[in-house]
Structures are given as C-alpha cells and as structure tokens.
Chains A and B, each alone.
Chain A
C-alpha cells in the first residue's frame, strides 16, 4: 500500500500547492486503476498520522518549500532521536513523523518528499502564476513516484 500526503493551507496562497498536487494523485490513481494508493490532504502533520503510516509500504509527502527553486523529489530519512527530544508541536516535520512511526511500530515506510517552490503566501485561495507554471513538472514527478521510479 502506498500513501500520498499533501500538506498545506489552501487559504494561504502557494502553501496550498501541496494539497492541490496530492489531490491529483487521486485522479491519476483512478485513471491507472491503482487501488493500492491512498491520498490524504492535511493542513499540518500531527502525531495521529502515525497510525496511517504504520499501514503503508511507501509514503510521499507533498509540501511547499521555501528553499526549493524547482519541483524535486527528495528521499527522506527518519529523524534522529535527538530531534524528537526537542518536544511536541501540533505541527510535525515529515522526518519527525517517520521517527514517531518507527518508535511506535518498529519500522517506518520508505519515504520521499516532493518539494514544491512557493512564491506567494498571502491570505487567500489560489496559486501564484509562478506556482501554476510549475504544476506540470510537479505532476510528472508525482507520476514518476507512483510508478515506482523514485
């Protein structure tokens, strides 16, 4: 079973790009008749998502990234125990969620982050022009991951 998690707030401009791209995974999976793919869209990662990760083999996190200049796929490692010692927030990073999953269940799924660049984070719905222009590349990388080539 694979899982795609789109992260972001659709009311904050380009921060909603993760949710948008992840939602495309649903239609891509339906078109390819892929039943072993689940898609979640969340505003932020919380500890309860551990229970979703425990049931999957691979997970793709899709998130807006301030440091990204172009869409890219990045393998994710489990956060070291020291990182967890910094405490709990309602908002976890993907690597921290993976660490929680490993701590609780003894293993974490193979994980990748689809990093999407952001250009505008103002209040309001809708992506900036720059973000919209990069959607085809993001979709291609999503498909690459879904087909097991990443």
Chain B
C-alpha cells in the first residue's frame, strides 16, 4: 500500500497533492491517503476520484491549523500502524517539511523532489537537483520509501473513483509537537495591484537596467499591459527592487502568458523561475546571451531605448 499525504489549508486542498496521488498510482499498489486535521475529512470525495480507497484523518484538539511537527508525529503513528511501502507528498514547502518531520521521527531517508520512483531493494528514484537543472539517480536503502514528488513531472489525472472511506485516528502528540504553529496570518506585503503570482504579463529587469531609477520605464510598460514588474537576483541584492519581485530559484516561480526579460543574462537559477512562461520576449545587447535559448522573440539592443519606444508604440497602437 502507498500512503499519500494530502495537504490542505483549513480544509482547502492544495491541488498539487493530486499530482502526488497520480504519481502514487504509477507504483502498482493500493492507494490510501491521509489528511492532518479534521477539516480535511471533507476531501474524501475528491481524493477518491483520484484513486485513494481510504482517507485517514488525523484528528486532535491541538491540530486546528498547520502544525508541522505534529503532522510528522501523526504520520509516524499511522505508518507504524499500516506499514505502507511508501509515503508520498507533493514537493511543496509544506509537503517537504511534513515528510522531513516523519523521516526524522523514524530516522529513515527521505528523497525530495522525485521525477520518477521505482520500488525495490533498493528503491530507485530520479530526483531534481540544482533547481531542476540536474537529475540525480539515487538508491534508497530502507524498507520504507519516503519521497516528495516534483510538481512538474506529474499531472493530476482523475480515475473517477468512488469517494474514499474515512478512517479517523488520534495521534499521540507530545508537548514539543505543537510548540510551533501558525499564530496569525497577514496579507501579502506587496503593493496594491497585480502580484507576480497572478500577473498575466511580467516585465522583468536585470543588471542591464543599471539602477533603481531605470525601473521607471519597466513600470510604465508593465502598467500599460496590466502586468507586474519582476527582476533578477542581482537587482534585489543591490537593493534596487524589493525581494518580492525576484523571479527564480530563490525568488518566485512564475508562468505568465508573457514574460519580457530586459537586461537579464539567463543564469539557470533565473531560468528555473520563468521557463514555463507561455511567450518569452528578450531584450538584450548581447546576441550571445544564454537567455536567448529560452526566448520566443528577441530584440538585440539597449533596453533604455527599446522599452520607452515600445511603450509609446503600444500606446499609439491602442489609440
């Protein structure tokens, strides 16, 4: 049996968990799922559709919201009861964190961000390294496989299964398990307007913009297209723009309809955050810039001339 952790935020499913369920089905065993917190019980119908037969619900008065170490304890209790062959979750911050707590409780290995999984002795996995630029083939020497699933490698495919049977259990929490929990929430600190995550158009600038002032032109173009401004890490570490606008491995991963990259060379850590954009337009003085490999369209030249010219040409075309 494969056990899949379904992550949810106060009852609302993280849909990437459905990809983990799809990945689990590829292992040729029965699928059972687990949610931490009683609010997750309502997901039994949905996760049944994606192939889970049983939904285990960890219920405890002290688990009312995200409490990662308690999640790890609940998973440990369930694993000891059910002896699954593998425990999987989505490769998200919360999926990785909760399974790492499980792995630490049991002192067994965990393979994060897997693209492929084959059970055996040893288990064999392919996992993403270097923000997905390198693929590691690894052996896992342990009975139980604990792994998170790389979100880009699997789609959520329904099998129109019946609702999963709900099985409630109460984990035996220890005091240290609920020391760290969400105490309150606040809204995002970004300015009013479109955020990187939901922008359809992103006008992104790199070192080539030359300084904080240079971003005025990019803001004008972004505003005209109803989009947001993005940037590279050189820009945030120079203090030209806030980190909330950084695109890439250690910034935000985006996939807008249109990504305009101006004065950005295309380091792999930047590419990792924007390569899934629908259309990529590059403006760069260097005809050899690595980012051109990922572009659909490019203009070779100085962004300080091209961006204002583009803004006024679009304004004219709009009439």
A binds B: no
Q: Which residues of B contact A (CB under 8 A)?
A: none
